[in-house]
Amino acid sequence: MKSLYPCIWMNNNAIEAAEFYCSVFPDAKIEDSNPMVTMWSSMGEKFMLLNGGPIFQPNPSISFYSIFPESQIQQIWDKLADGGMVMMPLDSYPWSNKYGWLQDRYGVSWQLESNVPDDMRQRFSPSLMFTGEQFGRAEEAIELYTDIFPGASIDFISRYDDDAGDQAGKVNHARFFLNGQRFTAMDSSLDHKFNFTEGLSLVIPCDDQQEIDFFWERLTEGGQESQCGWLKDKYGVSWQVVPQMLPQMLADPERGQRVIEAFMKMKKFDIAALENA
């Protein structure tokens, strides 16, 4: 199965941010960079940074639940906190010996936890917070996503107790898998002043037009189409449904610019039109 990966909207400082993250996380490196995007990875897990300008910015509605050994977590925390903002201090909590939640200097949110399972391979899990007008819809969204993605599964859903006020019965932590990758989700009734935006989107690489059509049609039901393969689902979460071969097309010195000009006119990607550009 092809890996999904996050795309973080940057204010024209993608390469600077990528270099910062590579100094923070273990086994991290810049995979590729051009004026439009920079790709970096840590321990084989990929992130895209998009030079989109000041229009959007990431916020804690999607954070990265990141699990590292206790011997590493303090150093990672200190680097991310430099110039950032602490949301929950790095401390001992009932669910972890070491846990903390912060926003780094680029507005990207990280939840760091030290309990590393023996079979842990994935270190970074996109974590969706359903708040504001989306409060209480986490479980519904999980059921939709696991219905859309072939082979997806729900690992567990933990709910708030009956004495939790307006959060009673809502999701306090859930874990599910899409394309073999772990995601988490939660509901929050607090007035956070943020919600899902294009500041952080999830990229679905597709092998062919049939896959593009399938994911586009399912995820836009009740949602909204946008440009260049972007869409918002009914909960406001942004996705990019893109051809797997797009980076190779863009790298072609003869056709790359024509491919860009072609997809700038598209909403849903049309592979045949890109190939004929």
- Domains annotated for the chain, with CATH where assigned, are 53-187 (3.30.720.110), 207-275 (3.10.180.10)
208-242 tens-digit pLDDT: 999 999 999 999 999 999 999 999 999 999 999 99
Name the residue among 8, 73, 1, 64 with its Cα closest to residue 40.
Answer: 8
The CA distance from 191 to 220, in Å, is 27
Beta bridge partners of 65: 111, 125
Q: What is the pLDDT of residues 64-120, one digit of tens each?
A: 999 999 999 999 999 999 999 999 999 999 988 999 999 999 999 999 999 877 667
CA dist., res. 125 & res. 62, Å (int): 10
Number of Cβ within a 10 Å radius of residue 158: 11
Nearest to 108 by CA among 5, 210, 44, 200: 200
Radius of gyration of the chain (CA): 19
> What's the CA gap between 39 and 41, in Å, rounded?
7
Q: Above 80 in pLDDT, residue 144?
A: yes
Using the predicted structure, report yes or no on whether residue 277 has a pLDDT greater than 90: no
Amino acid in the structure at residue 58? P
**pLDDT at position 160, please?**
94
pTM of the model: 0.95
Evaluate if residue 207 carries a pLDDT over 70.
yes
- Beta carbons within 10 angstroms of residue 151's beta carbon: 10
What pLDDT score was predicted for residue 260? 87
